[in-house]
């Protein structure tokens, strides 16, 4: 085993950076922390993505919490996928205790109990402002992938979108799309001749797929008002970035809804954020807890989408961090794109566990200071094997790290505290208002039942083009009332999203 002097020299050289840095913790040798030998991460490489892995109860969530706090302190906005409900405590100040005091003294970093600016969000029935997107914002390519359709069925979806564009029929929610598909398969079949036919078999499959995602709550996600991605990038009066907590405690058995949200979010971020280059400091960092839920039932098209986004989105100033139990939960094509790794302890209860641990040890840089395979099963709570990228993009030496403690509450919020945060939000009211303006469903219903055409339109059910939306699609279509320009805008937006994902639209 190398001497402590050699160890300290190697760690100091490997973790010394010139720009802004995040203190992760203190280096450990032979199970003991080396006082004031800090393990850091350059802020400029945070958008190279990362992995936070380890068995249940080893401190992964607290690693996310401290990381999010450090980013917020540097003015970087954060989006946390909170599936277990234990990250939202970041909104309240933490409570000091001797363990925290001793830990932070060893690390040589200050600890001040504080709350952070938090926005609670939801795509389901959890407490938080409602995130929504319209069917039109997805476009035929992404919408077809959510439904897991084959090429012929995707062609049918494309025809529905094109017809609705040409006829000025907005596709805002699922009932709009269903009504348009039903109309074109029956009463509107004659009009469809100019676009090509849609087989009854394709219609049947698409209808069943729509029902499947509706049963998972997608009808609450598709609609207006569309969420404006810029609202993720707010800072408070102290210049701290907002920590946006997406509460997903009731969505573990709804992978389609989660996938729908992820596709829409990442596509819109990529389409709207300006190009900054690989060396820029991050604008937004996304933490996906329980990441295995995304990949467990993921279709090949979805994996292809995520791989493409992971490769390209970092130049937009966006970092994505997956949190899961085993690195093998993440597909290799995506795992290879994750520059920062925080490996908490693993459990070796079975022969398979021991094989997994051996494979995991091979994911990390070789080192003369540790026996990685043995150390993986003996890490304490709040400790991790860490390697990040330095400012040149090279991996830093593998470090056994005593991690910093969060400064906010390391526990859940009560229901009343959650509601208080939503009530104090400056943007929640903008998204909690339910809007059902005139769209394909209402227009086609009137066409089939002329007697209803004379009924007045309610203020919340305005004709297309009269409601100011908040999403990027709404901004484009609101600049003019000319139907032709609207159609062109719709096509351009969806073409951009399809190009992002590297997919070819059926012609």
One DSSP character per residue, 138-199 reads HHHHHHHHHTT--HHHHHHHHHHHHHHHHHT----SHHHHHHHHHHHHTTTTTGGGGT----
Looking at the predicted structure, is the pLDDT value of residue 471 above 60? no
Residue 6, pLDDT score: 92
Mean of the pLDDT values across residues 389-415? 95
Instruction: Give me the half-sphere count of Cα atoms (radius 13 Å) on the Cβ side of residue 273.
Output: 27
| φ/ψ (deg, to 5) at 141 | -70, -55
The pTM score is 0.82
Please give the helix or strand (H or E) that residue 491 lies within, else none.
helix 483-500
**Residues 6 or more apart from 121 whose CB is under 8 A from it?**
128, 129, 130, 131, 244, 245, 246, 247
Nearest-10 crossing angle of helices 440-448, 174-185: 40
Band the pLDDT of 22: cuts 50, 70, 90. very high
Looking at the predicted structure, is the pLDDT value of residue 478 above 90? no
Contact 288, 322 (CB under 8 A): yes
Nearest-10 crossing angle of helices 255-272, 483-500: 110
Please give the helix or strand (H or E) that residue 33 lies within, else none.
strand 32-42
Band the pLDDT of 49: cuts 50, 70, 90. very high
Mean of the pLDDT values across residues 19-46? 94
What strands, in cross-sheet order, belong to the sheet with 50-53?
32-42, 21-29, 399-403, 383-387, 340-343, 50-53, 318-324, 284-288, 77-82, 243-247, 118-122, 129-130
Contact 320, 307 (CB under 8 A): no
Nearest to 88 by CA among 495, 414, 372: 414
Which residue is listed with tokens 């992964």?
60
Residue 476, pLDDT score: 35
Report the C-alpha gap between 67 and 79 in whole angstroms.
12
Percent of residues, the chain, with pLDDT higher than 70: 85
Residue 261, pLDDT score: 76
Nearest to 324 by CA among 85, 58, 41, 42: 58
**Residues 6 or more apart from 323 whose CB is under 8 A from it?**
51, 52, 53, 60, 61, 64, 287, 288, 289, 290, 291
Please give the helix or strand (H or E) that residue 272 lies within, else none.
helix 255-272
| Cβ neighbour number for residue 291 with a 10 Å cutoff | 23
Query: In the chain, how many H helices and how many E strands?
Result: 19, 12
Looking at the predicted structure, is the pLDDT value of residue 465 above 70? no
Mean of the pLDDT values across residues 158-165? 94
Domain 4-131+225-424 part of CATH 3.40.50.300: yes
**Residues 6 or more apart from 403 whose CB is under 8 A from it?**
24, 25, 59, 62, 63, 66, 342, 382, 383, 384
- Tell me which of 146-160, 211-225, 319-333, 474-488 is least confident: 474-488
Domain definitions of the chain by residue range: 4-131+225-424, 135-223+435-500
Mean of the pLDDT values across residues 3-14? 92
**Residues 6 or more apart from 438 whose CB is under 8 A from it?**
170, 457, 461, 462, 463, 464
Residue 302, pLDDT score: 67
| Cβ neighbour number for residue 305 with a 10 Å cutoff | 24
Q: What region, left, alpha or beta, does residue 360 occupy, with left being phi > 0 and alpha being psi -120 to 50 degrees?
A: alpha
Report the C-alpha gap between 235 and 365 in whole angstroms.
37
Residue 291, pLDDT score: 82
Looking at the predicted structure, is the pLDDT value of residue 298 above 90? no
Contact 249, 84 (CB under 8 A): yes
Percent of residues, the chain, with pLDDT higher than 90: 51
Nearest to 342 by CA among 44, 2, 61, 94: 61
Mean of the pLDDT values across residues 38-60? 94
Report the C-alpha gap between 149 and 356 in whole angstroms.
34
| φ/ψ (deg, to 5) at 384 | -155, 155
Cis peptide before 308 (omega within 30 of 0): no
Greatest Cα pair distance in the chain: 89
User: pLDDT (tens digit, 9 = 90+) per residue, 327-379?
Assistant: 888 888 888 899 999 999 998 888 888 888 988 888 888 999 999 999 999 99
Specify the higher pLDDT residue, 505 or 275: 275
């Amino acid at each position: 085993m190398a001497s402590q002097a050699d160890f300290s020299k190697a760690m100091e050289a490997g973790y010394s950076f010139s720009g802004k840095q995040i203190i992760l913790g203190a280096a450990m040798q032979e199970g003991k922390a080396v006082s004031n030998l800090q393990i850091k991460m350059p802020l400029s490489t945070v958008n190279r993505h990362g992995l936070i892995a380890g068995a249940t109860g080893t401190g992964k969530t607290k690693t996310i919490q401290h990381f999010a706090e450090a980013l917020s302190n540097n003015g970087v906005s954060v989006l946390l996928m909170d599936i277990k409900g234990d990250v939202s405590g970041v909104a309240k100040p933490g409570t000091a205790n001797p363990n925290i005091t001793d830990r932070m003294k060893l690390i040589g970093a200050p600890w001040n109990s504080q709350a952070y600016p938090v926005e609670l969000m939801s795509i389901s029935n959890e407490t938080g402002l409602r995130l929504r997107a319209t069917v039109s914002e997805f476009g035929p390519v992404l919408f077809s992938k959510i439904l897991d359709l084959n090429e012929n069925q995707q062609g049918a979806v494309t025809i529905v979108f094109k017809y609705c564009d040409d006829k000025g029929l907005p596709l805002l929610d699922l009932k709009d799309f269903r009504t348009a598909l039903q109309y074109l398969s029956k009463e509107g079949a004659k009009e469809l001749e100019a676009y090509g036919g849609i087989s009854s078999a394709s219609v049947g499959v698409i209808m069943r797929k729509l029902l499947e995602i509706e049963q998972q709550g997608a009808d609450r996600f598709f609609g207006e008002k569309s969420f404006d991605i810029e609202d993720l990038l707010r800072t408070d009066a102290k210049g701290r970035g907002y920590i946006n907590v997406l509460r997903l405690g009731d969505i573990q058995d709804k992978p389609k809804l989660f996938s729908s949200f992820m596709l829409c979010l990442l596509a819109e971020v990529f389409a709207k954020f300006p190009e900054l280059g690989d060396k820029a400091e991050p604008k937004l960092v996304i933490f996906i807890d329980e990441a295995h839920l995304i990949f467990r039932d993921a279709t090949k098209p979805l994996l292809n989408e995520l791989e493409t986004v992971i490769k390209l989105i970092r130049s937009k100033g966006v970092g994505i961090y997956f949190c899961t139990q085993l690195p093998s939960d993440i597909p290799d094509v995506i795992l290879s794109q994750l520059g920062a790794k925080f490996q908490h302890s693993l459990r070796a209860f079975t022969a398979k566990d021991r094989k997994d641990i051996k494979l995991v040890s091979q994911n990390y840089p070789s080192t003369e200071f540790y026996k990685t395979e043995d150390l993986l099963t003996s890490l304490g709570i709040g400790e991790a094997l860490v390697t990040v990228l330095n400012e040149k993009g090279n991996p830093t030496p593998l470090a056994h790290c005593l991690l910093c403690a969060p400064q906010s509450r390391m526990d859940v919020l009560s229901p009343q505290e959650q509601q208080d945060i939503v009530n104090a939000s400056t943007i929640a009211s903008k998204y909690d208002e339910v809007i059902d303006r005139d769209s394909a469903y209402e227009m086609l219903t009137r066409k089939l039942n002329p007697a209803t055409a004379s009924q007045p339109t309610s203020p919340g059910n305005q004709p297309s083009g009269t409601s100011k939306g908040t999403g990027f699609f709404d901004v484009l279509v609101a600049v003019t009332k000319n139907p032709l320009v609207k159609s062109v805008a719709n096509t351009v937006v969806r073409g951009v999203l399809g190009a992002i994902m590297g997919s070819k639209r059926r012609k």
